[in-house]
Amino acid sequence: MANLKADSPLCRRIVLSFLDFLNSVEPSSGSDESLEVAKDCLSEAFKIDSSSTPSVPKSDSLVQIFTSQTGQNNEIKSDKIHEESHVSSTNDALGVSEDELFGQFFGALEKVHYFGTTSNGDDEHALDRATHLFHNALMEMKKSGREEVDLKNLADTFKLQGNKAMQSKTYSNAIELYTVAIALCDDNAVYYCNRAAAYTQNNQHTEAIHDCHKAIEIDPNYSKAYSRLGFSYYAQGNYRDAINKGFRKALRLDPNNESVRGNIQAAEQKLREEYQRAERRRSSTSWSYSDGGSRNHGPFPGFPPGMSESIDMSSMFEDISSELPPGVTRINPGDDLPEEVYGALRSALQMFNERDGTQDNSNGN
């Protein structure tokens, strides 16, 4: 069995069970002090407060465990033990024993900090959850007919369970199952890519992008990882990176993938829409002053009948624009005018009217 850390939840659980057993033993003559010393040493070595030792679940009771292995007269069922030993030997020949696999499983979960900590440094819920996951996966692995019992096949079983969770749209469960698979086998690009898909469906796009990059780091030619990276960027609204860092690289590796080609077109359309919106915003503020002034949305004063034919409009607007105060944008025919310019143009029109013997009847509003 793989070595476990002294402060790991599994180790603490085993020691608590043993302390519970020692507390239930009625010492024989002269052994009382030795038992107390043994309990103190265990408590100190594993950082357990013996004065407030929590209750041990019935399933963890050593007496309960060993009693289940005995017959009517407390005789060990040797035939059953021999049979289990034979099964264990068979598993050793095909991979590792279930006990050793269990130890490797918990050791791998500890490395990825699967177990949270409470005030006493233990998390019974996470420990029970991990135990349930292990036995469930082991049972499924046997049902599938896998002959070799090892960490790699166990990891692949968790990946398959994650796929089923994705199909059921239970994305949080899928993330947990893929996480366990990664803990057991952290050099498999598929596991990271699958978890990225679950993260994306769970609207955890930053985590999805991280997993896609990890998958690409493991396998630089993994087209699906690039495709999912593009989708994660797209979901964030980062359409340029979706195209350049994701979809185009995926299409380069898988030129016949029409789905990726369609994703590129969708992202390009989003970029065009963004550009058009930006252009409309610039156009709507083109008459704004550089110092933040406001614009007048009043119409340009009308010309008297026949006058527009005798005036060079382009030249007139050029002349007027050259005389505008600093900060005012150049004026073009058909544009609304700022307040400062409106009065000047009305005066100019009035001058033309007087010259031609006509009157400006507009009210200036």
Q: Specify the DSSP class assigned to residue 168.
A: T
Q: Specify the DSSP class assigned to residue 60.
A: G
| pLDDT in the model for residue 61 | 60
Sign of CA dihedral 274, 276, 277, 281: positive
* Residue 149: closest CA among 163, 137, 161: 137
Q: Where are the alpha helices (DSSP H) in the chain?
A: 9-24, 32-45, 62-67, 78-94, 98-111, 124-143, 151-167, 171-184, 189-201, 205-218, 223-236, 239-241, 248-253, 258-284, 313-322, 339-355
| pLDDT in the model for residue 98 | 84
- Predicted model pTM: 0.58
Instruction: Report how far residue 234's alpha carbon sits from residue 123's, in angstroms, rounded to the nearest whole number.
Output: 38
* SS3 labels along 267-313: HHHHHHHHHHHHHHHHHHCCCCCCCCCCCCCCCCCCCCCCHHHHCCH
Kindly compute the dihedral angle of the four CA atoms of residues 326, 330, 334, 339, in this order, to the nearest 10 degrees.
0
Q: What is the mean pLDDT of each run of 10 residues along the chain (365 residues)?
A: 59 70 65 64 67 51 52 42 39 64 90 67 75 92 81 94 96 96 96 97 96 98 97 96 97 95 96 91 65 47 46 52 55 54 61 52 42
Question: One-letter amino acid identity for 192?
Answer: Y
| pLDDT in the model for residue 83 | 39
Instruction: Report how far residue 283's alpha carbon sits from residue 245's, in angstroms, rounded to the nearest whole number.
Output: 32
